[in-house]
Chain A
Amino acid sequence: MSGAAASTADRPAADEAAEAIHIENLHKKFGALHVLKGVSVSARDGEVVAIIGGSGSGKSTLLRCINCLENPTSGIIRVNGEEIRLKPDGHGGAVPADRRQIERIRTRLGMVFQSFNLWSHMTLLENVIEVPVHVLGIRRAEAVATAERLLERVGLADKRDVYPAFMSGGQQQRGAIARALAIQPRVMLFDEPTSALDPELVGEVLKVIADLAKEGRTMVLVTHEMKFARQVATHVVYLYNGQVEEEGPPEQLFGDPRSERLKQFLRNVH
């Protein structure tokens, strides 16, 4: 990764891995509110892209557009080179044109939410095997074996038969990461994974995410943890008011920011 403030467009492509996520000129309006104003971001295989920005900058919306939890108003989204087909929704926005296509694409994206969102009527193990068994059609015994390995990995082997409501926030979030890993995602999407946690529980979750980054997993991470973003990210995108204000490698963005707004933002969060 060069030190220059390179946008993804003019970075040399020949020696780079394939694009896992490609977002081009994405717009999102909520009624009169224009949240994303032509954002282009991409993540290549093995990259960890951290999206930072102030409250209301559109960073969570951007992440949620990747798997169409929010339907973009316009723009292009490609996942592993496959473009999500959109059609007009009749109100000036767009919706996925093909439900099966978006469902298939979603199974390649392991989403981790701010508020964990484990299914409350299932034990942790049932949560982790749910999608492999019922969506991906993997045999139950096989899914259970994988799930046990993953729970071991996030340090929750002893919680397999516990319901989410009886676990701490940090445990629930680690469980949610295991659930995401169980689908063997091409890309992991993290939507402020530590924002809902008590300060003393943040560390255990960040450690799990850092381990994933180390093993070369492709990840897009929306976060408020600047120190963490600097540590694990290979590429950082600073969003301001629905636009990419500045992007580049972490050393440069955090060490030598160019934009006044980013400087201001970094002063405020430190």
Chain B
Amino acid sequence: MLRGLLSSVQIALGAYGVGLLIGIGGAYGKLYGGPIVRDLLEVYTTIVRAVPELVLILILYFAGTDLINRVLEALGYARIDINGLVAGIWVLAVVQGAYSTEVLRGAILSIPQGQIEAARAYGMAPMLMLRRITLPAMLPFAIPGLANLWLIATKDTALLAIVGFNELTQETRTAAGQTKAYFTFFVAAGVLYLLLTLVSNRIIARIERWSRRGMPAVSGSAR
């Protein structure tokens, strides 16, 4: 089961990281891209957020790997066995990316425009501005949404059980089935998910405090 937890965390971290990169690109594309880029991203975020994740996972996992193999065969290469971990990360990253696109787009819009304007007025190139001004300045506005996404990512890994990937839920099911101690194992799995969330919350709180270092405390909130 601990091995399952480890792969769950691995997938969640990977999917979240890749999802964030998709989200940054997506948010930028939606805000500053041309009409075609914007339309394509709109289609992406709408479809991914509309279709149940379970269905998406089945589509992306089975159809996706099949597609890759067909392409490989058509090009004259041998079929490959796609690593479950990598496939899991990509499938969840596509889902995470759609949500983080919207979270980050909102956060970027929350930055006081004057700060962006000051960066332009001092000759910052777009990539430098993204790295030095836009991303750090939007972070305090993005953290609550991104924290939610992280917690969802940790639990979405359970959906990969459906495609037979040995993450926490799947391992639990196997163990419970073999020992017939269903209650014990599933409660244990629940506790592990809870612990993961509690640890995450501690880390998120630290990141949030750091990201809000330049902001006065909201009255009543502990700092």
Contacts and interface: CB of A to CB of B under 8 A. Distances in A.
B214 A130 contact: no
Contacts, number: 74
B122 A164 contact: no
Contacts of A82: none
Interface string B194-223: 000000000000000001011110000000
16 contacts: A102-B123, A104-B123, A113-B118, A117-B117, A118-B115, A119-B119, A119-B133, A120-B137, A121-B137, A123-B214, A131-B123, A134-B128, A135-B123, A135-B124, A163-B214, A165-B214
A147 to B, nearest CB: 14
Contact of B214 (A103, A109, A122, A134): A122
Interface SS, B side: helix
Interface string B131-145: 011001101100000
Interface of B: 112, 114-115, 117-125, 128, 132-133, 136-137, 139-140, 211, 213-216
Q: How large is the interface on A (under 10, 10 to 19, 20 to 34, 35 or more residues)?
A: 20 to 34
A49 interface: no
A49 B170 CA distance: 74
Contacts of B216: 165-166
B118 A117 contact: yes
Contact of A69 (B117, B128, B132, B139): B117
A183 B122 CA distance: 9
Given A130-B132, A134-B132, A165-B215, A117 B114 contact: yes
B61 to A, nearest CB: 39
B114 A115 contact: yes
Contact of B118 (A119, A123, A135, A166): A119
Given A104-B123, A107-B123, A130-B132, A121 B214 contact: yes
A131 B122 contact: yes
Contacts of A134: 124, 128, 132
